[in-house]
Amino acid sequence: MKVTLNWLKEFVDFSLSATQVADALTMAGLEVEEVYTLERNFSRVVVGKIVKSQKHPDADHLSLCQVDVGGNILPIVCGAPNAYEGLKAPLALDGSVLLNDLKVETRKIRGFESQGMLCSEAELGLSERSEQLMELAADAEVGKELGQYLGEPDSVFDINVTPNRPDCLSVIGIAREIAAMTGSSLKKPELNIAAIPDAIEKYMTVDIQAEERCFRYSGRYLRDITIKPAPFWMALRLHAVGIRSINNVVDVTNYVMMEVGQPLHAFDYRLLEGKKVIVRTAEAGERFTTLDGQEHELDQDSLLICDGVKPVALAGVMGGLNSEVQPDTNTIFLESAYFEPTNIRRTAKRLDLSTESSRRFERGIDPNGTIYAMNRAASLIVDLAGGHVVGDAIDNYPQKVTPVEIDLSVHQSNVWLGVSLKKEQIAEILSSIELSVEQKNGDTLRAIVPTFRPDLTRPIDLVEEIARLYGYDNVEPNVAPRINQLQEANPRVLFRDSVRQTVSGMGFRETCNLSLIHKKFGHEFLPQKAGFVELLNPLSEDLSVFRPNMIISLLTSVAYNRNRQMHDMRLFEIGNVAWKEDGQSVKTEKTQIAGILAGHRQGNAWYGKAKEFDFYDIKGVVEGLLAKIGIEKFEQESAHDVFWDAESSKVIVDGKSCGAFGKITDDVLTLFKIKTNDLFAFYFDFDKLFENRRKEKIYNPVPRFPSVPFDLALLIDVNVSAGSLEKEIWKSGGENLVDVHLFDYYKGEQVEAGKKSVAFSLTFSSKERTLSDDEIENVIDQILAHLSGQFGAQLRDR
Amino acid sequence: MAENLETIISVIAETEKAFFYRLSNAATRDDLEEIRIEYLSRKGKVQSLFSLIGKVDGADRPKIGAELNRVKKAVQDAIDEKQKSFQRTGKAIEFFDPTLPGRTVSVGSLHPLMQVMDEVKQIFVGMGFRIEEGDEIETDYHNFEALNIPKHHPSRDMQDTFYLSDEYVLRTHTSPVQIHTMEDQKPPIRMIAPGRCFRKDTPDATHSPTFHQVEGLCVDRGVSFADLKGVVLAFAQKLFGKDVKVRFRPSFFPFTEPSAEYDFSCIFCKGQGCRVCKDTGWLEISGAGMVDPAVFGFVDYNADVYSGYAFGMGIERIAMLKYQVNDIRIFYENDLRFLKQF
């Protein structure tokens, strides 16, 4: 919402500078985003008077003028249609510079010398009107610098009006705030309409058929008016607040809307049929063309203003092309109505047609302000377009909206704010914004809220007004601690943070990626039969679905860095992923942790050649992470999905899959345009790790008796896995077996074809005694017998 | 006929000097053994010096004797010392270069946004707030309606929302966590909700469709606007130092009343006015306010008994200030050269 300083000064007296006003408004909740002085984009422009004007002999559209600039008469060639004798207009002298660095020089135009240029408002940057010469007042002093003639340039405030303050979408609303802040009062001019007495019913009747959507419909009939450009002062102000000047009548409706906040509409009366206005909802599929030329298909929710035959306006949003004011319009019907806010908003949203009018109606204008606004407009139209108001105002107001009364406890207000204001202070504050305050008994105040403040309905709403106008700065911060019950720490958050510390301690860098991705990256990562969680209104295809797996994010980061010549990295991230289960509309959202190894474990160094990551690097990370959180053992199973079948593994804890790790397939890498196939990743369902974490740490006494190591080298078929061997060793190792560690793994010339050698270091220990050599021998025999039976394992050396 | 005293002293000194020079070049145990034999054996260089005693005047003999004993001991000690150093390393000392690079240990790091988040969490945990979490995909009810933002209300325009359906949205703030917490727990409540949020903002230097917030909520009997100002002030000073000031400006949020935007005095110019604060002396941080009684209505709290405050903050905003990052998108690029700096 833009307002100008001079416009505000018409409604309130104050001596603050523009900057001071901006600061004060901001601290009262009307955030001034920008305050600036209207620029003067011209120099060496003076008031000129056309003393003689005749047609150019060879060019119909050009006039040869003699222009008085105070002492001198200059010959000027001019193309404007209104370059008539006697007109005072701005003249840019030889050597002047106008908007967009346009330089004016003496030159010949179609054979005649022109010693300057008569200017339109647009050429001077004063408004966007370019068709005509700017018309200066008849008493303007000829030869005076235009800048001096115009006076001090006005200042503009660009205010971010919050949705709860529809009253401040108007000059008067903001002036009222300034009045409250400065302790002065609002000046609202009295309006006297001199109407020609006549029965208005002869010309127009209004029938509201949708009372729940249109609370009030007021109107006036004016005739004998003349459509012409609005005066400069009005065009200048509209331009300053960002509204295009059209003609005197349309400009008045916009000007009054900006001034008092009531949207108005002027119909060309000649185009309304049947001398009536009907307010009704649209029929489903009904078509209507608004005055911007757009045709809309409506539904039964939309509200239409119709004449006796056809719709003529989309209520509260925009008038119709079929009834707008024309250059030859001489009779108008002026509408000033109150439409139900949410209905206007639904229509504007659905049609994607947000206008200055709809913005005000959907926030809630003053239902009791239609008459004032309409009369203000009518009197301005008579001033600027001539003609007469005929008959009484039409005012169809079936259900009167009355002011809200709110009882406020002074004590409660003080408790909420943490201040100790007196009843009188509160009463004074509320009165300053035009609430009527009655002091009731004891602690209570009753405030009667004018209908231009629909946001004030409850005591707390008044408290906000009190705080705002008392000044947030004046509320002393209370830094004394408020001791509540002791809050137990959230274990999931603690766990999450400790996992992040653990993984970063393993040399991984934490990334932070967007959660939204392009579909093409996600397909491979969706669980079987699952679908994407898809946005209805994405910014772009690239950010249109929720990521179904955190590895996607890490691959995005790897690709980004690979494109910038960074090859080796270890990255991880914890974040949320989501998908839709087969045939279900409800989403599944999970937290995942994923890590990725890319490139080399170590670059070329003086102590060794560069070494690429392999499967056992990612497995080591997984084992380390799980051990750290107390998951010592897990089962493995081939994982497929985004990993190579062979070099992959699910992580199964207590029979349930928690995640997987492995080597990323070439298909997936190709998607991300990653050219090397040296990427290994893991991902876990974070909450499964959380459930399976070691929750309590309880001391387990360290053995007091010496432990006995024993190395066991086995010869075995190549395709017996080390994991299954280890499992069987545990099974047959008895209660004193405390550790099994695989320390050698060999395939090759030293062993016979089809076999391999696997060596384990076993540790035995008892809590009660020192184990004897015989006991150990017996257990080893037992293990060997078992392994021999299970896998045909042979002892290689003992 | 008796040799000059000075000459003999200088012969002794040269022998000593020569020994230390040899010793310094001894790289192996064999070298050392060779030197030991050369100097300390029965016919070694040190021993043979003792024959010089006879060549000086009787009066000077004790002097030369003492000097020779000193040298003999020095040589013996030096050889012993060297011997020990060989024992420590267990092998012959070659040239050892301690300036070679150490074996690389991969160093990880936490993301700068998460570091800021961690710091903010710690501050509030220290002030007795519990951390609560929630889903990023939320119902329209929890993200909007229960926060007093009805459908078809202009305040919905304050946030551009990603919709999944009529019912589900990507949460536009972490405030729905407050609703869930109040649905599950009775007052007193003192919580913060850190997390990821989404708004349909086209990415530019100050906007990202994904961003992070920490929101706080305190509900109890007699909680006041002054308490809110206090907690925000305490937070500001713990985060940016004791001399930071806080300014509250009236604003509007559907779920708080009174509502405020709060600013910190500029941490770069100490409120004097600079480029970062656009010469205002203030840095806009975020919004706060007293919980609107309408919100209590949605979670069945008695608004006549309880009052509360809520506040929010954008983690990216704080991280940009703290690390002097001028483009929010850098956080989401994950360029290693960026991550390594934190």
Q: Tell the CATH topology of A45-150.
A: OB fold (Dihydrolipoamide Acetyltransferase, E2P) (2.40.50)
Confidence class of residue A703 from pLDDT cuts 50, 70 and 90?
A: confident
Contacts of A538 in chain B (CB under 8 A): 162
Q: Is A61 exposed, middle or buried (0-12, 13-18, 19+ CB in 10 A)?
A: exposed
Closest-CA residue of A relative to B104 is A602
How far is Cα B255 from Cα B259, in angstroms, rounded to an integer?
A: 8
- List CB contacts (< 8 A) between A500 and chain B: 110, 114
Task: Tell whether domain A407-474 is in CATH 3.40.30.10.
Answer: no
Q: Touching check for B110 and chain A: CB below 8 Å?
A: yes
Nearest Cα to Cα of residue A232 among A124, A327, A332: A124
A567 and chain B in contact, CB less than 8 A:
no
> ipTM score of the complex?
0.85
Alpha-carbon gap: A187 to the closest alpha carbon of chain B (Å): 26
Homologous superfamily, domain A491-692: Bira Bifunctional Protein; Domain 2 (3.30.930.10)
Higher pLDDT: B97 or A325? It is A325
**What is chain A's mean pLDDT, rounded?**
92
Q: Which residue of A has its CA nearest to B261?
A: A29
Q: Minimal Cα–Cα distance from B269 to chain A, Å?
A: 20
Hey, is A88 helix, strand or coil?
A: strand
CB contacts of A543 in chain B (<8 Å) are 209
Written as six digits, the tokens of A755 are 């076999």
A556 CB neighbours in chain B (<8 A) are 334
Shortest alpha-carbon distance between residue B156 and chain A (Å):
9
Cβ-defined contact of B111 to A511 (cutoff 8 Å): yes
Tens place of pLDDT per residue across chain B (342 aa):
356 778 888 888 888 899 889 888 887 778 888 888 888 888 888 888 888 887 788 788 888 888 888 888 999 998 888 888 776 665 555 678 889 999 988 899 999 999 999 999 999 998 989 999 999 999 999 999 999 998 877 777 767 899 999 899 999 999 999 999 999 999 999 999 999 999 999 999 999 999 999 999 999 999 999 999 999 999 999 999 999 999 999 999 999 999 999 999 999 998 888 988 888 899 999 999 999 999 999 999 999 999 999 999 999 999 999 999 999 999 999 999 999 999
CB–CB of A605 and B163 under 8 A?
Answer: no
Architecture, CATH, for domain A2-38+154-182: 2-Layer Sandwich (3.30)
Partner residue facing B334 (CB), from A163, A467, A511: A511
**Angstroms from A243 CA to nearest CA on chain B:** 22
Locate CATH 3.30.70.380 in chain A: 708-797
Q: Does B335 touch chain A (CB under 8 A)?
A: yes
Judge whether A342 and A454 are in contact, CB under 8 Å.
Answer: no
Cα separation, A393 vs A400, in Å, equals 17
Q: Is A503 on the interface with B (CB under 8 A)?
A: yes
B268 to chain A, closest Cα gap in Å: 22
Alpha-carbon Rg for chain B, nearest whole angstrom, is 40
Q: Looking at the complex, does the CB of residue A514 fall below 8 Å from at least one CB of chain B?
A: yes
CATH of A195-396, one of 3.40.50.720, 3.40.50.300, 3.50.40.10, 3.40.50.620: 3.50.40.10
Q: What is the pLDDT of residues A418-460, one digit of tens each?
A: 999 999 999 999 999 999 999 878 899 999 999 999 999 999 9
Rounded Cα distance between A70 and A513, Å, is 71
Nearest chain B residue to A463, by CA:
B258
Q: Which domains does chain B have, with CATH numbers?
A: 5-89 (no CATH), 112-339 (3.30.930.10)
* C-alpha span between A486 and A474 (Å, rounded): 32
DSSP string spanning B24-75? HT--SHHHHHHHHHHHHSTTSHHHHHGGGGGGS-GGGHHHHHHHHHHHHHHH
* Contact present, B127 and B231 (Cβ < 8 Å): yes
3-state SS class at A427: helix
Selection from A67-71, A670-674, A751-755 with the highest mean pLDDT: A670-674
Q: Do B135 and A603 touch (CB under 8 A)?
A: no
* CB spacing of A460 vs B293 below 8 angstroms: yes
User: A753 — contact with chain B (CB < 8 Å)?
Assistant: no
Of the CATH numbers 1.10.10.10, 3.10.180.10, 3.40.50.12780, 3.30.70.380, which one belongs to the domain with range A708-797?
3.30.70.380
* Residue ranges matching CATH 3.30.56.10 in chain A: 2-38+154-182, 407-474
Cα distance between residue A86 and residue A68, in whole Å: 10
Q: Is A624 on the interface with B (CB under 8 A)?
A: no
DSSP string covering A106-123? -EEETTEEESEEE--TGG
Residue A697 distance to chain B (closest CA, Å): 23
C-alpha span between B174 and B194 (Å, rounded): 7
Tokens 């959180």, located at residue: A629
Distance from C-alpha of B68 to C-alpha of B63, rounded to nearest angstrom: 9
Q: Choose among B110, B132, B168: nearest Cβ to A504.
A: B110
Say if A607 is an interface residue toward chain B (CB within 8 Å).
yes
Contact A507/B at CB under 8 A: yes
Tell me the nearest-neighbour CA distance from A393 into chain B, angstroms. Answer: 32
